[in-house]
Amino acid sequence: MLVNAQLIERFGAVVAGIAVAVVAFYALYKDWQATGVENQVFKLMLALLGLGAVLALLAGLNVIGFTPPKGA
């Protein structure tokens, strides 16, 4: 297997997606009981960050965003 820039980029997306998702969802879990408008906005931002990390993870694993080459 040849290591090229695409493989390194996908590996980085998978590793970063896992790390960011774990941290975002853990922070959301710890902050879940907080009240107030600012805390609700913070929870929404953490949830969106976690969702984006999961999407980056899935794209790195070639589950979403895959387009076959032309002529295939």
Instruction: List, for residues 12-55, the tens digit of each pLDDT value.
Output: 889 999 999 999 999 999 999 999 999 999 999 999 999 999 99
For residue 3, what pLDDT is reported? Answer: 82
For residue 72, what pLDDT is reported? Answer: 59
62 Rama class: left (phi>0) / alpha (psi -120 to 50) / beta: left
C-alpha closest to that of 15 among 49, 53, 65? 53
What is the value of pTM for the model shown?
0.80
- Residue that wins the pLDDT comparison between 19 and 10: 19
For residue 51, what pLDDT is reported? Answer: 95
